[in-house]
């Protein structure tokens, strides 16, 4: 079912993927005062053992391997923490930059950048289409606390320029991804998505984990764990 929804719409919601006790170690890891945070959350948290363990949870891997195959593995994780005191909005966009072990000029890749000491490049649609992200909801996502909004089926259009994203946002009807604590939103990186500011005092904490069928991208490029 998840595979069919992802192919058709670019996203799927899986309720009750995790129970409370399974999320506690990851929550403790991202709540540590020793962790360097930005206003929106924490980049590159897959290097934390508790986060890496959660990313390998059998239920999560089961979802991913339906789509990417038995060798699929996590390569990046980001912790988002939206609340009344740490609030922001995100305009419509696609997730098209990948963390790489080293820089190598290859046609179709770039521009290049660096984020928190990690090398990134914008990737071609042929590679992005072979990735899958799971957004693990550590709190309830509601209409009031800035849930992720998606444009169903927008993943089919490849990598879009900024003007094309704006045009698509005017043409397609957005869908608000309301997911309960312990639920998972599976999504393709090319799916156009956004989020509004929270108008609620409750937190909306999400662990965004990205998976690949292989870290070897060809042409001498390789994903790095981040």
Q: What is the CATH number of the domain that holds 52?
A: 2.60.120.620
82, 118, 125, 92: which is closest to 103 by C-alpha?
118
Domain with 24 in it: 2-222
198, 83, 90: which is closest to 143 by C-alpha?
198
Q: What is the pLDDT of residue 184?
A: 98
Could you tell me if 15 and 44 are in contact, meaning their C-beta atoms sit under 8 angstroms apart? Answer: no
Give average pLDDT by consecutive 10-residue segment, the chain, 226 residues: 95 97 95 74 93 98 97 96 81 98 96 95 97 98 94 98 97 97 98 92 91 96 97
pTM metric for this prediction: 0.96
Residue 29 preceded by cis peptide, ω within 30: no
Element (H, E) at 46: none
Q: What is the pLDDT of residue 33?
A: 74
Q: What is the pLDDT of residue 112?
A: 97
Cα dihedral 153, 156, 159, 165 sign: negative
Q: How many domains does the chain have?
A: 1
44, 74, 43, 36: which is closest to 57 by C-alpha?
74
- CA 139, distance to chain mean position in Å, is 16
Could you tell me if 146 and 89 are in contact, meaning their C-beta atoms sit under 8 angstroms apart? Answer: yes
């Amino acid at each position: 079912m998840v595979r069919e929804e992802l192919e058709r719409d670019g996203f799927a919601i899986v309720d009750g993927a995790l129970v409370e006790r399974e999320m506690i170690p990851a929550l403790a890891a991202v709540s540590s005062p020793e962790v360097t945070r930005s206003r929106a959350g924490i980049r590159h948290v897959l290097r934390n053992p508790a986060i890496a363990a959660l990313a390998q949870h059998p239920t999560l891997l089961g979802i991913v391997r339906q789509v990417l195959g038995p060798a699929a593995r996590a390569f990046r994780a980001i912790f988002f923490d939206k609340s009344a005191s740490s609030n922001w909005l995100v305009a419509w966009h696609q997730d098209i930059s990948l963390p790489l072990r080293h820089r190598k000029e290859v046609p179709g890749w770039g521009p290049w950048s660096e984020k928190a000491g990690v090398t990134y490049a914008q990737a071609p649609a042929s590679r992005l289409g072979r990735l899958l992200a799971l957004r693990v909801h550590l709190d309830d996502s509601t209409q009031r606390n800035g849930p992720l909004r998606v444009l169903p089926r927008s993943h089919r259009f490849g990598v879009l320029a900024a003007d094309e994203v704006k045009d698509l946002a005017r043409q397609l009807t957005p869908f608000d991804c309301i997911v309960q604590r312990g639920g998972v939103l599976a999504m393709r990186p090319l799916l156009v998505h956004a989020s509004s500011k929270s108008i609620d005092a409750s937190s909306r904490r999400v662990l965004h984990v990205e998976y690949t069928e292989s870290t070897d991208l060809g042409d001498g490029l390789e994903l790095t764990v981040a």
